[in-house]
Amino acid sequence: MDRRIIALMLAALLMLTTGPLASADEKDEKDEAKLPEPAEQVAIIKAVSPSLVRVEYTMKFDKGQAAPGCEQSIRQERALEQTGFLLSPRLVITEDITEHPRFINRLFVSFNGRQVEAAPKAYFKGRTAMLLELAKPLEGAKPLVFAADAEEPFLVVHYGRYGTTLTKRIWPMKLSSVYASERNSLYRAGPSECLIVDAKGRPVAISMASRWPIDDSWKGSPLKWPTVQAGDLEKTLDKIRRAAEQGLMRVTLNFRSPRKKERGMYHRGGDESQTERNTVGALIDKNRVLVLAPMSPKVTARLERVTVHPQKGEPVPARFKCTLKDYGGFVAVLDKPLSQPVKFTTKDIRDYRYKLLLAAKIVIQGKKRVAYYRHSRITSFDLGWKRHVYPDVGWGEKSSFFFSPDGTLLAMPIARREKVSVQKRWGGSGVLLTNTFYLKGVFDNLDKNIDIANIPLTEEEESRLAWIGMELQRLNKELARMKNISDLTRDGSTGAIVSYVYPGSPADTAGVKAGDILLRIHAEDQPKPIDVNIERYMFAGRAFPWDQWDQLPEHMFDHIPTPWPSRENTMTRALTDLGFGKKFQAEFFIGGKSVRKDFKVVTSPPHYDTAPKHKSEQMGMTVRNLTYELRRYFQKKPDDPGVIISKIKPGSKASVSGLKPYEIITHVKIGQVAEPVKNVDDFKRLIKGRTELQLSVKRMARGRIVKIKLPESTTKPATDE
């Protein structure tokens, strides 16, 4: 390394550790950069103006899409403008806009009202700039001639629009003090996209980056900067295209149909009802694929089949292995190995600031994989989760895969995983352009980075819910103020009043009482407490319309809500997603103070949606066992007989007889004896082979006898579901 550079680096480090060498009373005249007199400024502007040009892009729609941020300019038939600097009669340096060519209709360079067609000739490797070649020289324009040996003071010349007018402007150039980062890089901050001249107006340099070297190597013509020729870039893009086609492929996910929910039941919508989904998968080695699908445990529970579609060859089945704990994806193991996996980087993404990179935007449209390839750059970064560093790119680039020229995958679009299912006030995919260096660390220690609760389940296991054992009443502003807990519940927007505690439940064991107020949940591995937000129940505060039940038309049977609130709500869903066996604390407001009680996530007893059921094809009716919440709603004792009618087919024997959903069948008359119906097995046994039935039916407290005449035989046997 040059001795002068080494000396400058040592001096910079010394400044950071010991402070300035000069006394505080001494004044560095160079810090007082002065602006030339107006006449001198005018002379400088006149001298450099023949070298300042405008680069103009006319943009277009492609396949109904416009480049991000360009739709308005297209509609206004207005070109996008960039500043250009003439380096030779036919070469212009300008900012590299890194837009895909499919959106660019025409590129030209203008000077004094004259336009000349231009095309990219080369791209600078370490600066956000490119070199354009003009179809012919611009009349009247004059290339810059650089005085690399010029000395301070220096001036900045900027050419751009101020308001609506193209304007040239001069101001003193003052580089910042030296920055020495924790990553052992030394630089100075300075202006970007401008021309640097000395006090005589002689061109000294062009700046195309806001970070400058600490020595004088920034001086001189940009033509000495390393470049990649446009033709060579196209060859590199072809290499990246082949790597992406082999390593980034379409993956089809097939799901079991979701269990049918009663109307008004809690659900989050979206992919919770999908039975097929196509997404992108990244081949991480010859036997495994990372499927970029941020699925909640409720969705993963229904996953039945994974199929990977290589660009060439037959589809390859794959088996679910594990869900990543912190990232929105899961790992599947291929039934047959595939070649050419993507190669994750071992470097920090900040090593690639300003550098020429390649981007692949992979879009799955139905069952078709659509890909667009172009060059790109990363100019700045954000600090995020656990101090991880994320490229700060436009929203249109967050869904792209970034490669280095040698084909290494540097960054990929993957969502940060929510540990629990929560309702969001605003939507959003949550996808972040993530350095694959972090993901490589995950795969190197996969056993420590999986979510053991987010796995496929059987249909019986799918509807399992966490259980605390209490009924909750939603808070509001008035209740919060009356209870003097507005400050603890965001003025009643969170929290719930305990209205009932089930005997023998975890809440009962923990000493929770009716009237206590549940504020929030504190869970392991959750940096933010889980707010208690109870959904508004349709019949909260008003009676279910039992008195109008006889007027209920058949076509409404499948659309009416249950008279009782669903067991699945945001709180039970969040606790279920935490995983059974996980410890947590529930924070209550009791006796005027906040109290925390210890719990463990346990499975609830059977509830309405998981209760054993029996479907009688002869009757056209389905019944279920009475579960704990139904017995409370209907005020039934644990040993009271009964099965509840959960579904009636319009036009069936059950419907014609006058039976309605949510009525309870307590007895079936056999001869002269009314046999109690304790569960669906009893009901199935008591009606088997009978052609006439006499049922004792209760609608809340009112009972009646219903007679049904059935056909002697049927081709469809009764079923248990």
Extents of the domains making up the chain:
33-225, 230-461, 464-534+569-600, 613-720
Query: CA 411, CA 424: separation in Å to the nearest integer?
Result: 27
Q: Cis omega before residue 529 (within 30°)?
A: no
Pick the CATH number of 230-461 from 2.40.10.120, 3.10.20.90, 3.50.50.60, 2.130.10.10: 2.40.10.120
Q: What burial class does residue 688 get, using C-beta atoms within 10 Å of its C-beta: 0-12 exposed, 13-18 middle, 19+ buried?
A: exposed
Render 37-78 in DSSP notation, one character per residue. PHHHHHHHHHHHGGGEEEEEEEE--BTTB--TT-HHHHHTT-
Peptide linkage before 153 cis (omega within 30 of 0): yes
pLDDT at 421 over 50: yes
Look over the chain and give the mean of its residue pLDDT values, rounded to a whole number: 89
pLDDT above 80 (res 28): no
Rounded mean pLDDT of 597-607? Answer: 96
Tokens of 370: 């659509």
Q: What percent of the chain has pLDDT over 90?
A: 76
Who wins on pLDDT, 555 or 539?
555
CATH class for the domain made up of 613-720: mainly beta
- Specify the DSSP class assigned to residue 690: -
Q: What integer is the mean pLDDT of 270-288?
A: 89
Confidence band, pLDDT 50/70/90 cuts, at residue 24: very low
Express as a percent the part of the chain with pLDDT over 70.
91
Is pLDDT of 547 > 80?
yes
Q: CA neighbours within 13 Å on the CB side: how many for 587?
A: 16
The answer to whether 527 touches 489, Cβ cutoff 8 Å, is: no
Per-residue pLDDT tens digits for 157-205:
999 999 899 999 999 998 889 999 888 789 999 999 999 999 999 999 9
- pLDDT on residue 9: 46
At 93, phi and psi to the nearest 5? -100, 140
**Nearest Cα residue to 435 out of 332, 330, 351, 362:** 351
Rounded to the nearest 10 degrees, how much is the dihedral formed by the CA atoms of 187, 351, 406, 291?
-150
Least confident of 353-357, 418-422, 487-491, 561-565: 418-422
DSSP per residue, 324-360: BSSBS-EEEEESS--S----B--S-GGGGBT--EEEE
Q: Report which secondary-structure segment, H or E, holds 127.
A: none
Which of 3.40.50.620, 3.40.50.920, 3.30.950.10, 2.30.42.10 is the CATH number of 464-534+569-600? 2.30.42.10
Q: Which fold has domain 33-225?
A: Thrombin, subunit H (2.40.10)
Q: Report DSSP state, residue 30.
A: G
Question: Are 230-461 and 613-720 equal in CATH topology?
Answer: no
CA pair distance 674, 700, nearest whole angstrom = 20
Asked whether the predicted pLDDT for residue 410 surpasses 70, the reply is yes
